């Protein structure tokens, strides 16, 4: 589930970091910008890279839903509850419950545990156990070692884990996701997936619930097509025109040395929130004039174009 997205903008190559952990919800700052800085929050890892991929990339800007300010990430939805005092003024959505309801499943009707099971976590409120799949790895260990940060102490407390995942609402069962079958267990705010073929600590991964419930994006205004190979700046402007129009095959064709395979290239842009980047800085040169070619540009030129301006 690891993905990298490369964005070239204003003649500078920007490489976004891998999906990072949910940042604390009680740092200083206005509104959702406090917990929404996922990329910055990734730099404040809670001790190791094993905590990666808990929230994912942002998928939307701040939205108003049912009178409340929210923002969607790949695996979560942040909700502003200004009626609460910090750190409870920004809460995570109950996406586990919502996705189950989208599938026509009321978790209240699902099978329950008969009672506490040895070596498992027992949740009296919902009558479910959370257990490990192996002696050293599994859902129990993941739940206990991940969470939001409230107390500044090493490790994760029960309230910190509960704030991130919520209570378990199902027993583990087999579920087919994108054509593959995994053992999963649903929580109020998450879906745990068991990937036994992965190495630790990536055997337990979180479902992309934010992507599954996010609202459909607003229609993008029609963008006129633009394609020119008269100069490096024109080529780069054409590249971003193709990205803006979601013509990823055309954008890919502008690379003389592609940065990745085409499927990875296209998926990277398709999965990035508001991937339309208007990089007007690249066309500062007036039409008919050329400027010295930046070192980055030779790789972003038509594969078969004549390039006298490289001399």
Owning domain of residue 257? 232-310
Domain assignment present for residue 219? The answer is no
Q: Are residues 73 and 201 in the same domain?
A: yes
Judge whether residue 165 has pLDDT over 60: yes
- Token duo for residue 233: 């700046």
Judge whether residue 49 has pLDDT over 50: no
Predicted confidence (pLDDT) per residue in 167-197, tens digit:
999 999 999 988 999 999 999 999 999 999 9
What's the average model confidence in pLDDT over 201-225? Answer: 84
Domain assignment present for residue 220? The answer is no
Q: Are residues 146 and 246 in the same domain?
A: no
181 DSSP 8-state letter? E
Q: Are residues 191 and 238 in the same domain?
A: no
Q: What is the pTM of this model?
A: 0.58
Domain assignment present for residue 251? The answer is yes
What's the average model confidence in pLDDT over 51-60? Answer: 68
Domain assignment present for residue 1? The answer is no
Instruction: Determine what percent of the chain is predicted with pLDDT higher than 70.
Output: 67
**Can you point out the beta strands (E) in the chain?**
6-9, 12-15, 63-65, 68-72, 77-80, 90-92, 121-123, 128-130, 132-134, 137-138, 173-177, 180-186, 191-194, 204-206
Band (pLDDT 50/70/90 cuts) for residue 200 is confident
Write down which residue in 213, 242, 269 finishes a domain.
Answer: 213
Q: Are residues 303 and 170 in the same domain?
A: no
How many domains are contained in the chain? Answer: 2
Q: Are residues 163 and 27 in the same domain?
A: yes
Q: Are residues 167 and 204 in the same domain?
A: yes
Scan for tokens 């001790």, then name that residue.
Answer: 47
- Token duo for residue 114: 């008969």
Q: Are residues 70 and 187 in the same domain?
A: yes
Band (pLDDT 50/70/90 cuts) for residue 249 is confident
Domain assignment present for residue 71? The answer is yes
Q: Which of 2-16, 24-38, 72-86, 291-305 has the lowest mean pLDDT?
A: 2-16
């Amino acid at each position: 589930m690891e993905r990298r997205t490369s964005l070239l903008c204003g003649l500078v190559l920007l490489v976004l970091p891998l999906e990072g952990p949910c940042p604390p919800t009680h740092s200083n700052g206005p509104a959702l910008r406090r917990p929404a800085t996922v990329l910055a929050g990734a730099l404040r890892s809670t001790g190791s890279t094993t905590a990666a991929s808990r929230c994912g990339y942002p998928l939307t800007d701040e939205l108003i839903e049912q009178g409340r300010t929210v923002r969607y990430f790949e695996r979560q939805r942040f909700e502003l509850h200004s009626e609460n005092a910090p750190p409870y003024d920004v809460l995570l959505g109950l996406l586990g419950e919502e996705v189950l309801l989208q599938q026509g499943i009321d978790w209240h009707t699902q099978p329950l545990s008969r009672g506490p099971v040895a070596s498992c976590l027992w949740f009296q409120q919902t009558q479910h156990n959370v257990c490990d799949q192996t002696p050293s790895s599994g859902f129990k260990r993941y739940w206990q070692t991940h969470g939001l940060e409230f107390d500044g102490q090493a490790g994760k407390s029960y309230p910190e884990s509960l704030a991130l995942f919520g209570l378990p609402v199902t027993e583990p069962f087999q579920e087919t996701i994108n054509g593959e079958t995994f053992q999963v267990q649903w929580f109020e705010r998450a879906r745990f997936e068991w990937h036994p073929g992965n190495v630790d600590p990536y055997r337990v991964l979180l479902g992309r619930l934010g992507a599954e419930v996010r609202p459909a994006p607003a229609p993008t205004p029609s963008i006129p097509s633009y394609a020119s190979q008269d100069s490096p700046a024109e080529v780069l402007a054409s590249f971003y025109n193709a990205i803006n129009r979601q013509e990823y095959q055309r954008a890919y064709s502008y690379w003389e040395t592609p940065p990745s395979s085409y499927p990875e290239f296209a998926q990277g842009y398709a999965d990035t929130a508001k991937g339309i980047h208007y990089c007007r800085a690249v066309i500062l040169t007036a039409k008919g004039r050329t400027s010295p070619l930046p070192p980055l540009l030779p790789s972003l030129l038509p594969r078969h174009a004549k390039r006298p301006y490289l001399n």
